[in-house]
């Protein structure tokens, strides 16, 4: 794959990430922000029990829920779209006999699973008022450790499946690789520390809705990216021949 093609795929990946970010932004605003507002309301109602939480608001809530949210989601979409496009350039033709569309969809699905879903199941996202500010650094480190383990194990499982395919066949090699991934991730879940800092009286339904909304945002982001990038990558790498398009548009002379 030459440098011009890589640049074209990188640009398309960033644009697909931007478009998917717009879709994710809509989901985040209508599904996630109401839960955040309710969590802040719970925090304000119990603020008298935590005197140290009375601090000056540097950025207003209205700005956080509009421009701040849009900036975060869209920048995230563009950045991860570019990274995913570069990963696509490396993966195309190396993970099986898949074309550009199938490779892009597999890559986006794998990224959603390894980068977000697996760490989320161990350390799910929390709304405001959930979590001790004194343990923020520790919780962040544990989350990124889980993410790093998930990504590395997903890569290792892919390599294992490729190496076993010639001896076991594609189906059995995939089963072995997926099983190995699940077992090692299960061990990581068991040995990494548990974080449980939900305050007493916090509504369980609110926590559930917030976590579902964060999962929905990521699913829309990566699903939208996969579909958009799959189509644009297919058109770049396998363009429709001009002669075929001309023959469809102009009937043969008699």
pLDDT digits (tens, 9 = 90+) for 117-161: 999 999 998 887 777 777 788 888 999 999 999 999 999 998 898
Tell whether the torsion through CA atoms of 209, 44, 63 and 138 is positive or negative: negative
pLDDT single digits (tens) 200-224: 788 888 889 999 999 999 999 999 9
What is the reported pLDDT for 57?
Answer: 59
pLDDT single digits (tens) 2-43: 788 888 999 999 999 999 999 999 998 898 888 888 877 777
In the predicted structure, residue 199 carries a pLDDT above the cut 50: yes
In this prediction the pTM is: 0.82
Q: Determine the Cα–Cα distance for residues 17 and 5; give it in Å rounded to an integer.
A: 18
What is the reported pLDDT for 63?
Answer: 67
Q: Determine the Cα–Cα distance for residues 197 and 65; give it in Å rounded to an integer.
A: 24
Q: Determine the Cα–Cα distance for residues 91 and 182; give it in Å rounded to an integer.
A: 22
């Amino acid at each position: 794959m030459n440098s011009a093609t890589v640049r074209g795929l990188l640009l398309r990946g960033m644009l697909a990430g931007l478009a998917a970010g717009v879709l994710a932004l809509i989901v985040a605003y209508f599904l996630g922000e109401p839960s955040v507002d309710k969590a802040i309301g719970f925090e304000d109602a119990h603020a008298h029990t935590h005197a140290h939480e009375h601090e000056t608001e540097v950025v207003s809530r209205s700005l956080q829920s509009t421009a701040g949210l849009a900036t975060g989601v869209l920048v995230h979409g563009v950045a991860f779209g570019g990274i995913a496009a570069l990963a696509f350039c490396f993966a195309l033709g190396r993970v099986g006999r898949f074309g550009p569309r199938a490779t892009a969809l597999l890559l986006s699905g794998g990224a959603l699973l390894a980068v977000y879903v697996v760490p989320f199941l161990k350390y799910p996202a929390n709304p405001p008022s959930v979590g001790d500010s004194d343990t923020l650094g520790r919780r962040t480190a544990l989350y990124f450790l889980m993410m790093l383990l998930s990504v590395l194990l997903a890569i290792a499982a892919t390599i294992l499946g490729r190496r076993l395919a010639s001896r076991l066949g594609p189906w059995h090699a995939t089963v072995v690789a997926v099983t190995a991934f699940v077992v090692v991730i299960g061990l990581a879940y068991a040995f990494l520390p548990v974080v449980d800092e939900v305050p007493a009286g916090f509504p369980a339904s609110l926590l559930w809705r917030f976590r579902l909304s964060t999962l929905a945002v990521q699913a829309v982001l990566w699903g939208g990216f996969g579909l958009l990038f799959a189509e644009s990558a297919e058109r770049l790498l396998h363009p429709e021949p001009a002669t075929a398009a001309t023959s469809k548009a102009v009937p043969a002379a008699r």
